Amino acid sequence: PGFSRREILLGGAGALTAFAAGGLGARQALAAEHSLTLSRLNHSVLPETVTADMMSFSPSGPPPVLRFRKGQTTTIDVKNALDEASVVHWHGLRIANNMDGVPYLTQYPIEAGNAFRYEFTPPDAGTFWYHPHCNTLEQIARGMTGVIVVEDEEDAGFDSDLPLNIRDFRLGGDGQFIAFYKPRNAARGGTLGTVSTVNWQPQPVYELAAGSLVRLRLAVTDLTRVGRYTVSGAEALVIAIDSNPLPQPVAMDEIVLAPGQRADVALRVPNSEDEVATLVLKKPNGDKVLATFQPKGASAGRDLRELKPLKPNPVPQADLANAEVLDFVFGWSPGGDAPQASICGSLGYTFWSINRVAWGGDVPGPFDPLATMRHGKSYILRFRNESPNDHPIHLHGMSFQLLRSNKRKLPPLVTDTALLLEEETMEVALVADNPGDWAFHCHVIEHQKTGLAGFLRVE
């Protein structure tokens, strides 16, 4: 009660393309009620062309940034104005199972014309994202990925906050969609996009107060790309990965982010208008500027050392001495029938499997959990990658801690999406503290939809 329209628009579903960094000096009241309308739309991504048949969570532009407050109950009314079924998943939020948005596992698909009310209380602060989990490849390819910001009670001292939704689209020179993927790529590393965007724009320029401290919220919502990112032309520190604060901020020299992963970066905007900073995707054939940060006005003279450390999220620590080990093998599909067509879509191929079982993801049963965990107990999950491709392994509903790898030294990060390198064996630990059936899959969507998917049960 008592929210002005402006506050609701700033905090909620109306915040369409309001990506210009807003001041955080005065704490904004955040709307507790949001609404999303799943829509088809035509929108200009490339200059002078209009891309037909994009899909968004808004009828009039890119998916809005959703802003929630940690510990505050929020509702999201989802209206499905598409001509097909969908369902919305809140990636990284450790919420109740029946609000997790996975068809057949946690709810029925939201049919065309129908609505569904999600209601949950985010326990953690940080940068998250949302996307459909139904006909996932096509709906994401057409545009349905948005950033979620969960604010902590206390601010770290930034002047502003800038969510960056990083993803490619597969467009031809005429700005229209080309085939979303190629089956031969789905059996390998996946199909890359042709146009890189940030917030649905190729190479946007953001004007930021000179000398100010900006919290860049990078969310890689691409279907496929494992990328190396850097910030050049300014001082920048990585302060959180996958919504969990780093024990110690590290210089943003280069960071690898796979589909589904996020990084919070503290940017110190240069002092003068002719010193621009850029977000860069590093590529073997030449680096690519994804976005430009243009200083504006007289320098605010801020210093990165003025920032307060972020508070760790209340993720329980696993009891490693008493943890049971569960093994998961990620590899080729043993063959057999492609998953049945369903209203949430099957690609009609099975190339991949977890523990030799291929599940097309988002396809109705009969199927069994890959493992059952006892509520409250600690587990070590051992991920073994038998394939020559990388897989960002994502678990819904619970965050886990990286323990060790046979290939590299792992930082003790807490995450929901871990990049498992080719032929790597990695161990991670968690407390099975959230009851329900939780999707568990590779976030290269072509892999997920051709078998590299399953679920874990906590009971």
CA dihedral 283, 287, 291, 295 (to 10 degrees): 140
- Nearer to ligand C2O (CB atom), residue 159 or residue 168: 168
Number of residues that bind ligand C2O (CB under 6 A): 10
Query: Dmax over Cα atoms in the chain, in whole Å?
Result: 65
List 414's β-bridge partners, or say none: 401
Residue 302 binds: one of ligand C2O, Cu ion, none (C-beta under 5 to 8 A by kind) = none
CA dihedral 94, 100, 104, 109 (to 10 degrees): -170
Distances (CA, A) of 284 to 222, 281, 287, 292: 19, 10, 7, 21
Is 103 a residue that touches ligand C2O (CB under 6 A)? no
Is 441 a residue that touches Cu ion (CB under 5 A)? no
- Judge residue 73's burial from the number of C-beta atoms within 10 Å of its C-beta, 0-12 exposed, 13-18 middle, 19 or more buried: exposed
Residue 260 binds: one of Cu ion, ligand C2O, none (C-beta under 5 to 8 A by kind) = ligand C2O
Q: Which of residues 112-171 bind ligand C2O (CB under 6 A)?
A: 131, 133
Residue 215 binds: one of Cu ion, ligand C2O, none (C-beta under 5 to 8 A by kind) = none
Identity of the residue numbered 116: F
- SS3 for 3? coil
Single out the residue of 12, 146, 193, 260 in contact with ligand C2O (rule: CB under 6 A): 260
Structure tokens at 272: 């003068």
Contact 344, 359 (CB under 8 A): no
- Nearer to ligand C2O (CB atom), residue 302 or residue 447: 447
Q: Per-residue contact track with ligand C2O, 354 to 393, x per CB under 6 A?
A: ----------------------------------------
- Least Å distance, CB 353 to Cu ion, is 11
Candidates 61-69, 271-279, 288-296, 392-400: pick the segment binding Cu ion (CB under 5 A). Answer: 392-400
Is 447 a residue that touches Cu ion (CB under 5 A)? yes
Q: Which of residues 71-90 bind ligand C2O (CB under 6 A)?
A: 89
Give kind and range of the element (H or E) at residue 257: strand 255-257
Strands 66-69 and 146-151: parallel
Contact 435, 373 (CB under 8 A): no
Is 444 a residue that touches Cu ion (CB under 5 A)? yes
**Footprint of Cu ion (CB under 5 A):** 91, 391, 396, 442, 444, 447
**Footprint of ligand C2O (CB under 6 A):** 89, 91, 131, 133, 260, 394, 396, 439, 441, 443
